[in-house]
Structure 1
Amino acid sequence: MKLLLNSFWRAVAYCMHPRVIALSFLPLILLVALSLGLGYFYWEPALDMVRSMLDASEWMGRMWTWLETAGVGQLKVALAPLLVIFAVTPFIVVLSLLVVALMMTPALVSLVAERRFPMLEKKKGGTLIGGLFWSLGSILLALVAMLVSVPLWLVPPLILVLPPLIWGWLTYRVMSYDALSLHASKDERREIFRRHRLSLLGIGILTGYLGAAPSLVWASGALFAAAFVILVPLAIWIYTLVFAFSSLWFAHYLLAALEALRAEQLISPTPPGSTASPVVVLEPVTVQDPHDLGNPPVLPAP
């Protein structure tokens, strides 16, 4: 718990560092360009498709009639943009995580290592290609889990638990690998994952809940169309800062855990993940000349 809290406050402090703030704008520029490009080409077709689906639904037609009777028929105008935005949001989150992992996390880990762990040896147990495949595989598993769990979101308590749990697991997988890829060997990484799995998952879940906060900004952008152009980049930047904070939190926690593991190995040099076998020291046995058969061999005293 001490390591968890210590790394948390250090990550908060590092978020105020000028280098971290400057790095947070690099993914923002890329994501804003991507969002505007997709919106320019596909926003209106997506709205038309959603509206045609809503108009073709007999059940939705009855609901529109009831809403118009109640005097709130204008909600029909805002429903289609809301549905499009809510459908796109998970993919924006995943893309933000991937962009931060590729563009920001190595720089943030280097910043933490330079300032706190300058003497920590770099064993380079991970590679860029390995990290990319690790991230893509984890993202694919998270998307499958999200799609499978969507029906459970209709149960009120589970919608507050399942999405942050899945995003937390994804954040833990991606950020932990990237934080240790340069400094830890494969065996050290596996050992740290084994020892600190619950704490790392807790960090991922907490940052997952933080990542759900910008969804309010997305919803506001749908309700106030005039501010949509401003609120969408703001939401993406908040996502980026949340992921940057999670990168710093994982970096502080994991590099400190790696330093402690190596200090432990210096005291008891046992390879990570292995079990030390007891060393048995045998005393030499003195045997007489085989030609001297008159006397028995001399054995050491017990």
Structure 2
Amino acid sequence: MEYTIIDAHSHLWLRQDTEVDGLPIRTLSGGKSLFMGEVRQMLPPFMTDGRNTAEVFLSNMDYAQVSAAVVTQEYIDGIQNYYLMDVQTRYPDRFLVCGLCEFRRPGFLTQAKELIRKGFKAIKIPANRLALSTGRVPLNGDEMMAMFHLMEEHRLILSIDMLEGDTQVEELRDVITECPDLKIAIGHFGMVTFPGWTEQIKLARYSNVFIESGGITWLFNDEFYPFKGAVRAIREAAGLVGMEKLMWGSDYPRTITAITYRMSYDFVVKSNELSDEEKSLFLGGNAKAFYGFGALPVLPYIKNMSE
């Protein structure tokens, strides 16, 4: 069976040059980065210039038959709003991009208003980065709630990665009940390999909340391909909220330092624990409706030279 495949969690950047928790993150050569005190393989080694561009991603998407992708953001990559709006303008049928504010300091509501003015359709909160040395930034604080109401009014989508476990669950529940028409995508599959992950998943019992699996192959990296534990987790989450609330995401490009881009979803395709209908919903059907993608390209399978 052929599936329409949409990646609900990916990243793009031109260069990493930032700090998180006072520690530097800098692009090096050969796909490596200085990452908070150590050198890490941030990109596949053939991406020698450290540029994680839309064009390279599109080549991967076409090869893997991924029709469209949602580009989120993370502080470890630096704020990429300027580049991502350019990507959205040049490839409107393939990408939906998320804007990012500096939520670690007051004043981000003004930034959010500017993102809305510029035409962003979604805003990302790396809430897992909001536990600061000066105290945690609450999701239900006054400035956050004012932003969420503004997003709801302008029909923007909230993409959010949360701290592991249930630390921020009640705060986000306050947002959900206060803004019932704000569409919310919770990332990293609720930080599935940590205790309390199902509490994040259960938030998708609200009609406006969905779950995406960006980073699930990273979280199950110790067991590696074919990620049977990840499939069991998808099955468990579907039992809690329904398969119609779950979406596939890759966390490209970091995850393809260990596996190929196609491998980040074909463990689902090849699993016998999910039906064809469930795979179709998870791999693209749910994301197409949730994010509002229109007509998508039909991407033929291209044989490898080794076949």
TM range (shorter): under 0.3
Which structure exhibits the higher relative contact order, with contacts defined as CA atoms closer than 8 Å and separated by 6 or more residues? 1
Whose radius of gyration is greater, 1 or 2? Answer: 1
The structure with the greater share of residues assigned to helix is: 1
The structure with the greater share of residues assigned to strand is: 2
